[in-house]
Amino acid sequence: MEKRELKAEIRKISGRKVKNLRKDGLLPGNVFGKKIKSQAIQVPLKDFVKVYKDVGETGLVTLAVGKEERPVLVHNLQVDPVKNTPVHVDFLQVDLKEKVTAGVPVELTGESPAEKQGVGTVVQQLMEIEVEALPTDLPEKFEVNVEALSEVDQAIYVKDIKVDRAKVEIKADAEALVAKVEPPQKEEVIAPPVAAEGEVPAEGEVAPEVGAPAEGEAPAESAKEEPKA
């Protein structure tokens, strides 16, 4: 995987004041690792977004802090839920000779015959798979081809993932589902509502006259007019 470089500066502002950094186009963050002390930094937001788009959380980044270069991975990215923009980032400094654990995203490719013919729908069950590998051997993503899925209940499992197992150890259960063809959902047939007593009858129905006898009943006798005094 291509190594990318990102320039950073030591950050002296913390707490609520970091919002001023964001106004200036800077992204606050921290660098931490197994054998190093956590350090507050800041990076240009535009540069970070460009690099992150290419490497995600599994691509190695050379973080240049002053004159020092550090091999890091994007470990945790906090995003504003409204603006959908990064607000804070943590970088994990790694030893290139020591294995690390990371989540590798899963991407479905190709077109399933089951979907093409309307037999069913391919449902992705896993969005990422946890692996362990040297930082330089971490896959950018797992591309899973679904062109072999032609029938309902056919599936692809973690054990079907193609990767160099000598370099990359998959930590997930081998029998875990990655993608599966589910049957098409049936449309519910909703019965027309029954008019309650006192409601206006539906079109084509005739409302009974007020005081009219029900079917099978005899008509009631008319009230006799009392004689005038």
Domain boundaries along the sequence of the chain: 4-96, 101-182
4-96 and 101-182 have identical folds: no
pLDDT 10s digits, 44-99: 999 999 999 999 999 999 999 988 999 999 999 999 999 999 999 999 999 999 99
pLDDT for 207-222, tens place per residue? Answer: 455 444 555 554 444 4
Q: What is the mean pLDDT of the chain?
A: 86
pLDDT-derived band at 14, boundaries 50, 70, 90: confident
pLDDT grade, residue 6 (50/70/90)? very high
What single DSSP character describes residue 199? S
Answer yes or no: are the C-beta atoms of 75 and 30 closer than 8 Å.
Answer: no
Q: Spell 80-113 as b/e; 16+ CB within 10 A means b.
A: eeeeeebbebbbbbbeeeebbebebbbebeeebb
Segment holding 50, helix H or strand E: helix 45-55
- Fold adopted by 4-96: Ribosomal Protein L25; Chain P (2.40.240)
CATH number given to 101-182? 2.170.120.20
Return phi, psi of residue 158, to 5°. -55, -35
Q: Is the whole model's pTM more than 0.85, yes or no? A: no
DSSP-derived 3-state class of residue 135: helix
pLDDT at 41 over 70: yes
pLDDT recorded at residue 1: 52
Q: Which amino acid is at 128?
A: E
